[in-house]
């Protein structure tokens, strides 16, 4: 191996000085690239946002915005990064002419005041500026016909937060501004046209992203390893079952930053191809555990409506560009938003090790607070969703903020009717017990009964007793029980509207 090498703003730099726990943000700032800032250190403010070249189908790449405060710098060995300093050439003799189009619009429309958050906004806006599906982004399909807009969740469509240029403001959902206000930032976003055909960052998307590069670095008593194959990963885990697996680092990064965790061995698994499959067929959908949520959303293209409802409400775009289903389930957190949805979808997980694989129903996966049936040396390789899907689904996330917040209560429904009666129903809950769980008593109260207002009211009363809600900073136990009850009534009202001939 010739050492750690990371391409930043077109320049190849040595990353050998980074340790196993050195964050990408700290390494960039040590390199003199101080545009990216630390704000929250947990992936909520976006002041540290940068662009990374990620795979986007055969022979193509896509500029993707990520938080630099969470992942280790070594995870970007062999990769390409653009920071705010790499957008345009503002130090040239004609500053106004040398700014990147995003920077120019932010400056012209007053989108910056103190400037602390501005580099992060600019990087997130640039990712959306270059998004191939954006109307006016410049990419053309076969025959010169421009490809359609990206599939977005129902919550996105209802917000109408998309400009005439196709700019989706939700691309900025993980970026916070404390002084300027968002109107001039929105105006800057909506003023952006298509990238010039000679734009080097636009042209870069026409070439493949850098392949994964095996990495191994030891500093003191800590080690970072990116295995080259799944077999090597299994071997490493057999020798060191206590090793921490990292994909997007959206959970581990917070523990390193705020809880000062320093795992002796970190194994990067985000670029292992067997963990990045997305396959539909054989009566099921299989989603690789290391695919980012954004990649899953784009790959499914609305095929699973319940997941389409989840994605826009799962943290922010910056987080979804790094987080994975495998990571969200692997932590065993009772407030992970994917678990209630996957429970309602009757999903299972594939657990794998060097000795083989086993499939476990997600309803049987969680055994206690942040505990599961996963054995030492096993990884969560994939999530499987059986087909066909239920006819009526819904996901309700109750939180203090609509987006980019932790759930107080999360409820997912999957209902199938036969002749007006409930033939099958699955309800997943999060935030109301030590683990995500199925609302089995409520399901029993609904099964086989006519889907009427009376049935819904009776089931809602049962729903209020599900789980073991507690009082904490996010909500009281009484409030959580009330939200559980109201979720059934809301779901009934929405299904009636959907089935109403007048609405149709």
Cβ atoms of 408 and 431 within 8 Å: the answer is: yes
Mean pLDDT of 30-41: 96
Q: What is the model's pLDDT at position 74?
A: 97
pLDDT beyond 50 at 147: no
Residue 221 belongs to a domain with what CATH number? 3.30.43.10
Average pLDDT over residues 23-39: 97
Same domain, 78 and 175: yes
Q: Does residue 253 sit in the same domain as residue 197?
A: no
Is residue 440 within 8 A of residue 465, CB to CB? The reply is no
Is position 210 within any domain? no
Residue 209 belongs to some domain of the structure: no
Q: Band the pLDDT of 153: cuts 50, 70, 90.
A: very low
Task: List the single range of 144-148, 440-444, 468-472 with lowest mean pLDDT.
Answer: 144-148
- Say whether pLDDT at 270 is over 70: yes
pLDDT of residue 113: 84
SS3 342: helix
Domain boundary among 355, 386, 417: 386
- Does a structural domain hold residue 504? no
Strand runs labelled E in 42-197: 49-55, 61-67, 80-82
List, in order, residues 6 or more apart from 409 with CB less than 8 Å away: 396, 397, 398, 429, 430, 431, 432, 475, 480, 483, 484, 487
Q: Tokens 């359609």, residue?
A: 148
Residue 179 is predicted with a pLDDT of 84
Could you tell me if 237 and 296 lie in one domain? no
pLDDT at residue 140 is higher than 70: no
pLDDT at residue 181, rounded to an integer: 80
State yes or no: pLDDT of 187 exceeds 80.
yes
The yes-or-no verdict on residue 435 having pLDDT over 90 is yes
pLDDT tens, residue by residue, 389-427: 999 999 999 998 878 889 999 999 999 999 999 999 999
Q: Three-state SS across 257-305?
A: HHCCCCCCEEEECCCCHHHCCEEEECCEEEEECCCEHHHHHHHHCCCCH
Distance CA(350)–CA(357), nearest Å, equals 7
Residues 90 and 165 grouped into a single domain: yes
Do residues 126 and 100 lie in contact, with contact meaning Cβ atoms separated by under 8 Å?
Answer: yes
Residue 48 lies in a domain: yes
Residues 414 and 378 in one domain: no
Q: What is the mean pLDDT of residues 26-40?
A: 96
- With a cut of 70, say whether residue 49 has pLDDT above it: yes
Q: Give residue-wise pLDDT tens across range 76-104.
A: 999 999 999 999 875 544 444 589 999 99
Q: What CATH number corresponds to the domain at position 458? A: 3.30.390.50
**Which residue do the tokens 């969560």 mark?**
380
**Calpha distance 491→391 (Å, rounded):** 13
Residue 301: Cβ within 10 Å count: 10
Can you tell me the distance from the alpha carbon of 440 to that of 426, in angstroms, rounded to the nearest whole number? 8
Over 50: is that where the pLDDT of 158 sits? no
222 and 164 in a common domain: no
**Does one domain contain both 17 and 92?**
yes
Using a pLDDT cut of 70, give the percent of the chain over it: 92
Please report, for the domain that includes residue 380, its CATH number. 3.30.465.10
249 and 292: one domain? Answer: no
Answer whether residue 28 is part of any domain. Answer: yes
pLDDT of 141 above 50: no
Distance, in Å, from the CA atom of 46 to the CA atom of 124, rounded to the nearest integer, reads 8
Using pLDDT thresholds of 50, 70 and 90, give the confidence band for residue 150.
very low
Residue 61 sits in the same domain as residue 180: yes
What pLDDT does 94 receive? Answer: 46
Evaluate if residue 155 carries a pLDDT over 80: no
Residues 340 and 378 in one domain: yes
Q: What is the pLDDT of residues 284-294, one digit of tens each?
A: 999 999 999 99
pLDDT in tens, 347-384: 999 999 999 999 999 999 999 999 999 999 999 999 99
292-314: average pLDDT = 97
Residues 19 and 61 in one domain: yes
Mean pLDDT of 35-49: 95
What CA–CA distance (Å, rounded) separates 345 from 388?
A: 10
* Number of domains into which the chain is organized: 4
Same domain, 307 and 284: yes
Domain-terminating residue out of 342, 363, 386: 386
Asked which of 224, 239, 268 is the last residue of a domain, the reply is 268
For position 403, what pLDDT does the model report?
80
pLDDT-based confidence at residue 206 (cuts at 50, 70, 90): very high
Cis peptide before 310 (omega within 30 of 0): no
Query: Are 348 and 329 a contacting pair, CB within 8 Å?
Result: no
Q: What is the chain's alpha carbon radius of gyration, rounded to the nearest angstrom?
A: 23
pLDDT digits (tens, 9 = 90+) for 334-350: 999 999 999 999 999 99
> Residue 172: its pLDDT value, please?
95
* CATH number of the domain that residue 150 is part of: 3.10.20.30
In a domain, 314, yes or no: yes
Q: Is position 171 within any domain?
A: yes
In which domain, by residue range, is 193 found? Answer: 5-204
Asked if residue 354 belongs to a domain, the reply is yes
């Amino acid at each position: 191996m010739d050492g750690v090498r990371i391409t930043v703003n077109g320049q190849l730099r040595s990353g050998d000085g980074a340790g196993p726990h050195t964050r990408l943000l700290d390494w960039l700032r040590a390199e003199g690239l101080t545009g990216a800032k630390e704000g929250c250190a947990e992936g909520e403010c976006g002041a540290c946002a940068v662009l990374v070249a990620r795979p986007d189908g055969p022979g193509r790449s896509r500029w993707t915005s990520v938080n630099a405060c969470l992942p280790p710098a070594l995870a970007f060995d062999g990769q390409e990064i653009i920071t705010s300093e790499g957008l345009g050439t503002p130090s040239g003799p004609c500053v106004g002419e040398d700014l990147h189009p995003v920077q120019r619009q932010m400056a012209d429309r007053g989108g910056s005041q103190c400037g602390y958050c501005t580099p992060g906004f600019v990087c997130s806006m640039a990712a959306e500026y270059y998004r191939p599906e954006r109307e006016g982004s410049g990419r053309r399909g076969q025959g010169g016909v421009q490809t359609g807009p990206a599939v977005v969740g129902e919550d996105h469509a209802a917000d109408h937060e998309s400009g005439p240029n196709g700019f989706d403001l939700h691309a900025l959902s993980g970026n916070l501004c404390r002084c300027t206000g968002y109107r001039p930032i929105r105006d800057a976003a909506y003023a952006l046209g298509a990238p010039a055909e000679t734009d080097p960052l636009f042209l870069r998307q026409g070439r493949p992203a850098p392949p994964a590069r095996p990495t191994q670095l030891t500093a003191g008593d800590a080690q970072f390893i990116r295995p080259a194959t799944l077999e090597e990963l299994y071997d490493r885990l057999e020798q060191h079952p206590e090793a921490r697996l990292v994909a997007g680092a959206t959970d581990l990064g917070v523990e390193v930053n705020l809880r000062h965790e320093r795992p002796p061995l970190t194994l990067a698994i985000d670029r292992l191809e067997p963990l990045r499959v997305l396959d539909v067929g054989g009566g099921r959908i299989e989603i690789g555990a290391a695919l980012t949520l954004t990649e899953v959303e784009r790959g499914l293209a609305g095929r699973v409506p319940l997941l389409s409802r989840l994605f826009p409400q799962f943290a922010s775009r910056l987080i979804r560009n790094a987080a994975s289903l495998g990571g969200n389930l692997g932590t065993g957190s009772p407030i992970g938003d994917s678990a209630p949805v996957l429970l309602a979808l009757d999903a299972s997980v594939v657990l794998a090790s060097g000795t083989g694989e086993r499939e476990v129903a997600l309803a049987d996966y969680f055994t206690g607070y942040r505990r599961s049936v996963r054995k030492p040396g096993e990884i969560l390789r994939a999530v499987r969703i059986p087909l066909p899907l239920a006819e009526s689904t819904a996901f309700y996330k109750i939180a203090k903020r609509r987006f980019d917040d932790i759930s107080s209560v999360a409820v997912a429904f999957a209902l199938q009717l036969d002749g007006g009666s409930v033939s099958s129903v699955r309800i997943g809950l999060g935030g109301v017990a030590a683990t995500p769980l199925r609302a089995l008593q409520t399901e029993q109260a609904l099964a086989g009964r006519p889907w009427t207002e009376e049935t819904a009211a009776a089931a809602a009363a049962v729903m209020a007793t599900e789980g073991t809600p507690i009082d904490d900073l996010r909500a009281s136990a009484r409030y959580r029980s009330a939200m559980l009850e109201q979720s059934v009534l809301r779901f009934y009202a929405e299904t009636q509207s959907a089935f109403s001939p007048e609405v149709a």
